[in-house]
Structure 1
Amino acid sequence: MATGSTGAATTDFLPGFDRHRIETAPGVTIHARAGGSGPPVLLLHGHPQTLSTWHAVAPRLAQSRRVVAMDLRGYGDSDKPPGGERHAHYAKRAMAADAAAVMRALGHDRFAVVGHDRGGRVAHRLALDHPDAVARIVVLDIAPTATMYARTDKDFATRYFWWFFFIQPEPLPERLIGADPEYFLRHHVTTQSKTPGSPSEALFAEYLRCYADPACRHAICEDYRAAAGIDLEHDAVDADARIAVPLLALWGAEGVVGRTYDVLETWREKARDVSGRALPCGHTLQEEAPDAVFAELSAFLG
């Protein structure tokens, strides 16, 4: 049975944005916020964030665009279904189908998509599975999933240990994280951010509200289990596919991804028209360097 998060948000990080709950699959309802008018753009968060991560970017984009931010299934206030056989309910294919369904329900058949972290992986699959729906794609602080697994070394495995911790069989990671969710979450976000004071305590409290839900923690592990299994199978089938629409890659100059990979080259292996650059921050660009992210998005989205 699908479940939502425990408790209500204490802070509204997107005031003025409409609230929507949209059924995208049997037993799965996605929480979304929408604001502004103009060409549509979809914002997809990563782990351990929620749609509130866009609080410093979305309102500014909404001055000239119709902005939709959604909680990925398993995160925030979206439903958290069981993982299913081979964790397929958390395959990026399933999450991309959610995104396409949300945008269709809101009247948008073709749109730009911006994805950070896990959301960037969903955006990548969205562009492959729903090419007619995606007009442009932006990925924040990631290299392609298959590339990162294929080129894993000791340094990457040490810095991104949760990629290999979360995928352990249930219930090992769920129980260990559940022993002290606040400590684990704070350690995670503070080590990835290279900007003092980011995230704010209010934003951290919002993430903790969701992370405190055992269903959320389980869903997060299912997300990563899918990434290490069924997602790689889907990626292997599409190994020669190339995203046809323009792709912008941005990454944190002080983060692991930018220091480990030639980010633009990894995306040129997956897309035909790639541009981008590093920004002076850590992993969570939209929180640490929102002005720079907004400027880049405004120029790229046109």
Structure 2
Amino acid sequence: MQDHVRALGPAPLMPGFRLLDADVGDGVTIRAAIAGDGPPLLLLHGHPQTHVTWRKIAPALARRFTVIAPDLRGYGDSSKPAGGGDHAAYSKRAMARDQVALMRLLGHERFPVVGHDRGGRVAHRMALDHPSAVERLAVFDIAPTATMYARADRAFATQYFWWFFLIQPAPLPERMILADVEFFLREHVERQNKIAGATEPEAFAEYLRCYRSPDGVHAVCEDYRAAASIDLEHDAADAVRRVEAPLLALWGARGVVGRTYDVLATWREKALDVRGGALDCGHTLQEELPDETLEQIEAFVLRKQ
């Protein structure tokens, strides 16, 4: 393991956590924060965040679990490979493979996974591609990708415009975002959060640090381009399959997903054992309502619900 995992020191904004870099194959390095010594728990962030999005709940979780909070491929301080003509390098299949490799390097063959936003999409693919690895699956404020595209209407496209903006051919969205990165990022975060101040200046500064990278902006676009192309191909091929692991779906009652879809119904089309509900917040549950989100995670992972 020592040849593939390098310790880096304390994790900023994550009390008690230490950083590491893990070589997960194909030239990809995944940055992760880790703490605790209990059973493993994998936390996957969304866009435009990094592992720092778990800062309000990860220390409490680390009292019960070994918490691993990585930066997804293309985000934070993880590798940002070229997407390729078919965007396969940012397929959720590739991103899920990274995280399974990371967990195996750390000695964890089977584990629960919690994914917010893009991290939830990676976790969904992980549960299909690596069912023996995923013990339990929680997804935050998403409906399945294929469902959201298939049922998109004008209202959804207006509110989630970046789903259609970021997938435009390079370098159009990249150059437009890089013209004023901070404005774009602030608009995105503040539009999705419904509880003011949920993303503190220090956390926003960390997201902005990572988002300023041209490679990072390109990787974000590739993530969304993959979701609108190769990910849909993978989903179509698995249309009749169902996630076998118990699945918890939580969403923000004030957000677009909860107002647009019957979230539990969409996941019952994709998984065998689904439960969940809404929290009184916007898109970023772990930042807006950390105490309630922590309670839900612990109850689900500890099999109390």
| TM-score normalized by the length of structure 2 | 0.95
Equivalent residues of 2:194, 2:283 under 8 A apart: yes
Structure 2 partner of 1:21? 21
CA distance in 2, matches of 1:266, 1:98: 26
Report the alpha carbon displacement of residue 85 of structure 1 after superposing the two structures with TM. Answer: 2.9
Equivalent residues of 1:56, 1:287 under 8 A apart: yes
Structure 1 partner of 2:254? 254
CA deviation map 1:108-146 (0-9, x unaligned): 000000000000000000000000000000000000000
Report the alpha carbon displacement of residue 151 of structure 1 after superposing the two structures with TM. Answer: 0.1
Equivalent residues of 2:11, 2:19 under 8 A apart: no
CA deviation map 1:164-203 (0-9, x unaligned): 0000000000000010000000000000000011211111
Letter of the aligned partner of 1:48 in structure 2?
Answer: P
Alignment gaps of 5+ in structure 1: 1-9
Indicate the SS of the match to 2:87.
helix
Equivalent residues of 2:255, 2:282 under 8 A apart: yes
Equivalent residues of 2:32, 2:70 under 8 A apart: yes
1:34-113 equivalences in 2 (<5 Å): 34-113=34-113
1:218-237 equivalences in 2 (<5 Å): 218-237=218-237
Moved over 4 A (4+): none
Equivalent residues of 2:90, 2:223 under 8 A apart: yes
Equivalent residues of 1:11, 1:206 under 8 A apart: no
Indicate the SS of the match to 2:22.
strand
Q: Does the alignment pair 1:128 with 2:160?
A: no
Equivalent residues of 1:115, 1:139 under 8 A apart: yes
- Structure 1 residues 129 and 70: alpha-carbon distance in aligned structure 2, compared to 1, 3 A threshold: same
CA deviation map 1:233-281 (0-9, x unaligned): 0000000111111000000000000000000000000000000000010
CA distance in 2, matches of 1:85, 1:30: 23
Indicate the SS of the match to 2:245.
coil
Q: Does the alignment pair 1:267 with 2:267?
A: yes
CA RMSD of aligned residues (A): 1.4
Equivalent residues of 1:11, 1:202 under 8 A apart: no
CA distance in 2, matches of 1:233, 1:243: 17
CA distance in 2, matches of 1:77, 1:15: 18
Q: Does the alignment pair 1:116 with 2:109?
A: no
Letter of the aligned partner of 1:137 in structure 2?
Answer: L
Over the matched positions of the two proteins, sequence identity in percent amounts to 65
Q: Does the alignment pair 1:299 with 2:299?
A: yes
CA distance in 1, matches of 2:20, 2:111: 18
Letter of the aligned partner of 1:229 in structure 2?
Answer: S
Structure 1 partner of 2:200? 200
Equivalent residues of 2:252, 2:282 under 8 A apart: yes
Structure 2 partner of 1:139? 139
CA distance in 1, matches of 2:92, 2:54: 21
CA distance in 2, matches of 1:258, 1:168: 26
Report the alpha carbon displacement of residue 71 of structure 1 after superposing the two structures with TM. Answer: 0.1
Alignment gaps of 5+ in structure 2: 1-9
| TM-score normalized by the length of structure 1 | 0.96
Letter of the aligned partner of 1:210 in structure 2?
Answer: C
CA distance in 2, matches of 1:209, 1:151: 35
CA distance in 2, matches of 1:50, 1:98: 15
Indicate the SS of the match to 1:85.
coil
CA distance in 2, matches of 1:301, 1:262: 24
CA distance in 1, matches of 2:184, 2:53: 19
Report the alpha carbon displacement of residue 11 of structure 1 after superposing the two structures with TM. Answer: 8.0
CA distance in 1, matches of 2:52, 2:122: 18
CA distance in 1, matches of 2:234, 2:196: 38
Report the alpha carbon displacement of residue 15 of structure 1 after superposing the two structures with TM. Answer: 2.5
Letter of the aligned partner of 2:119 in structure 1?
Answer: G
Deviates more, 1:22-31 or 1:213-222: 22-31
Structure 2 partner of 1:3? none
Structure 1 partner of 2:185? 185
CA distance in 2, matches of 1:253, 1:290: 15
Letter of the aligned partner of 2:176 in structure 1?
Answer: L
CA distance in 1, matches of 2:74, 2:25: 13
CA distance in 1, matches of 2:212, 2:54: 21
Structure 1 partner of 2:7? none
CA distance in 2, matches of 1:200, 1:129: 36
